[in-house]
Structure 1
Amino acid sequence: MSSPAPAAAPAPAPAAPQAAYPPLVGSQRLIGTIALSAATFMNVLDSSIANVSLPAISGDLGVAASQGTWVITSFAVSNAIAVPLTGWLTQRFGQVRLFVASIILFIIASWLCGLAPNLESLIAFRVLQGLVAGPMIPLSQTLMLSSYPKAKAGLALALWSMTTLTAPVAGPLLGGWISDNFSWPWIFYINIPIGLIAAWATWSIFSKRETPTRKLPIDTIGLALLVVWVSALQIMLDKGKELDWFASSEIVLLGIVALVSFVFFLIWELTEKHPIVDLRLFAGRNFTSGVLAISVAYGVMFGNVVLMPLWLQTQMGYTATWAGVVTAPVGILAIIISPFVGKALATRDPRAIASIAFMIFSLVSFMRSGFNTEVDLRTLMLPTVIQGAAMAMFFVPLVSITLSGLPPEKIPSASGLSNFVRITAGAFGTSIATTQWENRAAVHHATLSEVTNPGNPITEQALVGMRAAGQSVEQTYAMLERMVTTQAMTMGALDIFHASAIVFLVLIPLVWIAKRNRKGGAPSAEAAGAH
């Protein structure tokens, strides 16, 4: 998943009824908790560990940094597509078998990612990795809840959440350290020992607690249309800049395929008896406003999370390790504040809490829009630390809004659809942010080049100074070009941050379109299970 995710994303709610097994006790519950947490940690870690390694991956494979982002988006898109299938797969194969198979296939995909000789094969293996990772997070939560008595369900969710919140802190730090001291394939190889231990321990503890299975029809046409339109749109976004957008016949074709398959997808899903995603859920005001708010915000946030380390490493001279240090603290305040947010939801309006989250996100983006090429480490890290508070007040209230008012039997499909839209928005947001960064940088480069020509007195003075330092004419012009490029790329990044701040503010009224749950602000049990 998530990515890459800056913080843990809410998982889909349990996709099938849990068999009535008694809670685990003693060492079995301890080992089971560690095994499930390790698998979850591995999955969430893999969503964030690659962010700071993109320049190393791009450089080693001989592609541009913007092309390297396909490593992130390919995983996110395939993961999003797999999410709606979790319910069907669970009922077809059983929770435990599906979960263990997901871990083992994830290990194999990670190994293949590390062996990838070029970008094309790496993207293919990341697609595979995202597909098999789909059921892992929701099922880890479901199995965790089944391990504890109902009275300790809050403790089980707290332990699960702590795991998913610490992984985004460790991901950038670990990814940067590995990239600087070893080689980028090791960001994938480290999954192998963790996954093997988690799979073995999970099977040892839970194999005798399998859920009933049954054969159910699957919406193959809807699934095929879903894969086609999402994939076509994502490829169009990823390759648009490279191929000059609609001046390219390839981009035009991708756009037509995406549009036509999307229209057919809508028609088919609204008339199918067993749809792969239940689009009728969008008839609910709370579901629609909640999904739009959480998805757009997640797309903007995820785009910034990918953009920040790229800018630091390609333009500011940061190593992968130090770029990880800048981006890692996002989880600190989230870990501290999350328990208090959970309690506040029992008495407070979730729309107000979500609005505060958007205000903080906007503040963080405005702070980043004031950076310059001389910014120091402390100034860079401060917004990242503050963003953790927004993360704590973002997911749970919006999930509560999204699922409020729905009957219990609709919760799994609603949660799955919500997560599909959110994860897909994260992939789209990454592509849009990196593409617009390059577009804005090109505009600023053209403007700066006009005022830094040799006829400009200030430019001439700078050139004379560089020559006096013993540099040749070619060296001085090369240095001047590097300075202009760095300034242009920095100004382009600041434009993205500034636009993000505005988007977060615009999303606040969208939250208030939702009706408040008459039963109170606290999320239902099902909603809590979706986080």
Structure 2
Amino acid sequence: MPGSPSTPRHRPALRASYLLVGVLVSATGGLGNALISANLPQIQGALGLTPVEGTWLPAAYVMTNVSSNLILFKCRQQFGIRRYAECSLLAYIAITILYLMIRSYEMAILVRAVAGFAAAPMSVLGFFYVLQAFPKAKLGKGLCVALGLSQVWTPVAWLISPALLDLGEWQTLYLFEFGLALCSLAACVTLKLPPGIRIASFERLDFLTFALMAPAFALVGAVLAQGRTQWWTEQPWMAFALIAALGLFIVAFMIEHHRRNPLVKTRWLGTADTLRFAIGALTMRLLLSEQSYAATGLLRTLGMGPDQLQLFYAVMLAGLLLGMTVSAVTFGPKTMPVQFVGAILLIIIGSLIDNDATSDTRPQTMMVSQLLLAIASGLFIGPLLLTGVMKALSKGADHIVTFSVLFAVTQSIGGLAGPALYGTFEQVRQHEYSAQITANLDPGDPVVAQRLAQQGQVYAAQITDPVRRQAQGVGLLAQTATREAHVRAFNDVFTLNAIVATIFLLWSLYRVAVTTRAARKTTQPAAGTSASASSATV
């Protein structure tokens, strides 16, 4: 395909070299935002940011990253994969240098936004380098490995962050990323991708469509990122942002719908198969938010920091690698539905294991459930992407741009929508549970009075005034009640995730049954026609 490298036959040693470079480039593109998300509390403290201000840092990255494939795909087609690779790496290094020069919050937001756009080509480059390590007959397995690698960097970021922070302040994270980018540039210049086909692909209206859709996606991303923090109904700007995004999407849709060579195939997007794919991809990303938001959020609520979560994320990383390996080894047209359904089953089991958490829950308590969810995360992505690619290619190679945008939107927006929806649900349930718990805290109750006295004794050495000591005891009891309310609310999130996954499983099984029946009906007439032809010949 234009914009992609060719796939010549390589020696085994060269294939191994391509794989190593692919892992390095993938790490360079994937660790940036993961390091920010994993260490956001420390960065907020260092810059003196409020929770609302801190949320903008990872949000700015996603706001620009989600629409980048809309224009970068044609850049590869127009200028070639080698020039694309080197220019992308130089741009990424320039952005990383800006990281090291940050002195203000506004500059940090700008750098995160530019980094989101610059990281997209890095992910694609890592993908292409990994594919070069596999022969043509095993490109499907290479696809599973390349896509699985793109997911492992979040747990890796959690694993290496404490050691990096021990070397200095949060700027050490950017220094490490800068070193990775330099190593990637050296590796890509030394070991170049094979040349591919170049075509003149840009049209003037492509830039107009991008100018309309990029801010629209950014506005939606901003609302999803800030909705839970600033609360949905309290900030009028969210309504105006969604209205503006809808208007931009409508104008872009009308332009693309009536173009002779549209950038986005609007008619294909409206087909039943494409809509079902988008729903499935979005739902899977939503379900996997149980791991990134709910499990981690519960442990953070219970006081677990990065040091206590090391083994937790090591198990998660092992699960991702195991799921990726199983997906690659068993990959095939007949096994793809089984892999997808198996991933949903693992999500259901993991969510049900987690929904009885207590205040005594620790990372070791959730190892089994998170291992299952990590395996599911590594298992589903390959079959999902290949299914969408085959549907797009069946309509023509020019549909790949539309599919790339659709897949990126479902994964990026789904990654924001999951924490936004589940976080909103958790806050609502937490307030309800907190009201129920505090309503039953009668100071005249002997049990409550004894607990207040015990809480007050914590401050006996520092506070001699019994009234003030009693007040401090009441405060500690209120904190305990709030913590218990959060734990119950997170249990409800786990249960909700299991319910949504069960509904999605039933829908997936129904679609598999419909597809299998349609395939049999298509095969039977063909077999009957062949038999009739044989009889006539005899």
How many angstroms apart in 2 are the aligned matches of 1:410 and 1:508? 32
Instruction: Give the structure 2 partner of residue 221 of structure 1.
Output: 208
Q: Cα offset for 1:374?
A: 0.7
Change (3 A) 1:300 1:346: closer
Q: Is the 8 A contact 2:70 2:401 kept in 1?
A: yes
* Residue 191 (structure 1) aligns with: 177
CA distance in 2, matches of 1:212, 1:469: 72
Equivalent pair of 1:304/1:433 in contact (CA under 8 Å)? no
Match of 1:488 in 2: 485
**TM-superposed deviation, 1:131:** 0.4
Moved more, 282-291 or 97-106: 282-291
Distance 1:165 1:222, change over 3 A: closer
1:131 alignment counterpart: 117
User: Which residue does 1:322 correspond to in 2?
Assistant: 308
8 Å Cα contact 1:311/1:490 also seen in 2: yes
The share of aligned pairs that are identical, in percent, is: 17
1:296 and 2:293 aligned:
no
Query: What's the counterpart of residue 239 of structure 1?
Result: 226
| Bigger radius of gyration among the two | 2
Q: How many residues align?
A: 505
**2:227 corresponds to which letter in structure 1?**
G
For 2:4 and 2:362, locate their aligned partners in 1 and report how far apart those are by CA, in whole Å. 52
Note if contact 2:70-2:210 (Cα within 8 Å) is conserved in structure 1. Answer: no
- Partner of residue 498, structure 1: 495
CA distance in 1, matches of 2:114, 2:362: 39
Structure 1 residue 502: Cα displacement: 1.7
3-state DSSP of counterpart to 1:319: coil
Decide whether the 8 Å contact of 2:318 with 2:371 is kept in 1: yes
Larger mean CA deviation between 64-73 and 376-385 belongs to: 64-73
CA–CA distance in 2 between the matches of 1:347 and 1:90? 29
List per-residue Cα deviations over 1:103-146 (Å, max 9, x = no partner). 23223323434544455433322211110111222233334445
- Which among 401, 424, 440 is matched to residue 413 of structure 2? 424
Query: Residue 332 and residue 241 in structure 1: after superposition, are their counterparts in 2 closer, same or farther (change >3 A)?
Result: closer
Stretch deviating more after TM superposition (59-68 or 420-429) = 59-68
**Structure 1 residues 400, 337: closer, same or farther in 2, change over 3 A?**
same
Q: Secondary structure at the match of 2:46?
A: helix
Equivalent residue for 1:449?
A: 438
User: Counterpart in 2 of 1:81?
Assistant: 67
Q: Does 1:379 align with 2:368?
A: no
Check if 1:254 corresponds to 2:252: no
Distance 1:462 1:395, change over 3 A: same
Aligned partner letter, 2:110: A
Matched residue SS, 1:206 = coil
Worse-superposed segment, 495-504 or 200-209: 200-209
C-alpha distance in structure 2 between counterparts of 1:162 and 1:258, whole Å: 32
- Matches of 1:339 and 1:247 in 2, distance apart? 46
Distance of aligned partners of 1:454 and 1:237 in 2 relative to their CA distance in 1, 3 Å threshold: farther
The answer as to 2:401 corresponding to 1:413 is yes
User: Which residue of structure 2 lines up, in the alignment, with residue 479 of structure 1?
Assistant: 476
Letter in 1 for 2:96: S
1:513 to 507, 511, 526: 511
More displaced, 172-181 or 351-360?
172-181
- Please name the residue that 2:533 is paired with: none
Q: Is the 8 A contact 2:220 2:241 kept in 1?
A: yes
Question: What is the CA distance between 1:81 and its match in structure 2?
Answer: 0.7
TM-score w.r.t. the length of structure 1 is: 0.84
CA distance in 2, matches of 1:193, 1:119: 23
Question: 2: distance between equivalents of 1:398 and 1:160?
Answer: 13
What is the letter of the counterpart of residue 269 of structure 2? F
Q: Equivalent residue of 2:179, what SS?
A: helix
In 2, Cα distance between the equivalents of 1:369 and 1:327?
A: 20
Q: Is the 8 A contact 2:353 2:369 kept in 1?
A: yes
Shift of 1:438: 3.3
8 Å CA contact retained: 1:285, 1:513:
no
Pairwise CA distance, 1:359: 1.8
- Aligned to 1:49, the other structure's residue is in SS state helix
Structure 1 position 63 matched with structure 2 position 49: yes
Classify 1:372/1:211 alpha carbon distance in 2 versus 1 (closer, same or farther; 3 Å): same
> Are residue 465 (structure 1) and residue 462 (structure 2) matched?
no
Taking the aligned partners of 1:519 and 1:331, their CA distance within structure 2 comes to 38
Q: 1:399 to 1:32 in 2, by over 3 A?
A: closer
Distance 2:47 2:341 in 1: 42
Gaps of 5+ in 1: 1-13, 521-531
Residue in 1 aligned with 2:524? none
Alignment match of 1:287 (pick from 263, 269, 274): 274
1:459 maps to a residue whose letter is: V
Moved more, 355-364 or 152-161: 152-161
Which whole-Å CA distance do the structure 1 matches of 2:487 and 2:166 have between them?
Answer: 23
Pair 1:198–1:238, CA change in 2 (3 A): closer
Instruction: Please state if 1:142 is matched with 2:128.
Output: yes
1:270 equivalent to 2:257? Answer: yes
Letter in 1 for 2:423: T
Q: Which amino acid aligns with 2:178?
A: I
Mapped partners of 1:180, 1:273: distance in 2: 57
- More relative contact order in 1 or in 2 (CA 8 Å, sep 6+)? 1
Aligned partner of 2:86 in structure 1 is 100
2: CA distance, partners of 1:346 / 1:242 = 43
Question: Do the aligned residues in 1 keep the contact of 2:24 with 2:180 (CA within 8 Å)?
Answer: yes
Counterpart for residue 536 of structure 2? none
What TM-score do you get using the length of structure 2 for normalisation? 0.83
C-alpha contact (below 8 Å) 2:88/2:122 kept by paired residues: yes
For residues 108 and 434 of structure 2, the distance between their equivalents in structure 1, rounded to whole angstroms, comes to 32
Per-residue CA shift, 1:467-523, capped at 9, x if unaligned?
345532232123123212222333333332222222222222443436648999xxx
Residues 1:307 and 1:200: Cα distance change in structure 2 (over 3 Å): same
Which of the residues 377, 392, 397 maps onto 2:383? 397
Q: Distance in 2 between matches of 1:486 and 1:230?
A: 36
Shift of 1:39: 0.8
Q: Per-residue displacement from partner, 1:323-382 (whole Å, max 9, x unpaired)?
A: 343234223133234344345443635334312211211221222222111113321222
RMSD of aligned Cα (Å): 3.2
**Does the CA-based 8 Å contact 1:66-1:434 persist in structure 2?**
no
SS at match of 1:322: coil
Larger mean CA deviation between 163-172 and 351-360 belongs to 163-172
Deviation of 1:441 after TM superposition, in Å, equals 2.6
What is the alpha-carbon distance in structure 2 between the residues aligned to residue 125 and residue 335 of structure 1? 31
How far has the Cα of 1:405 moved from its partner? 4.2
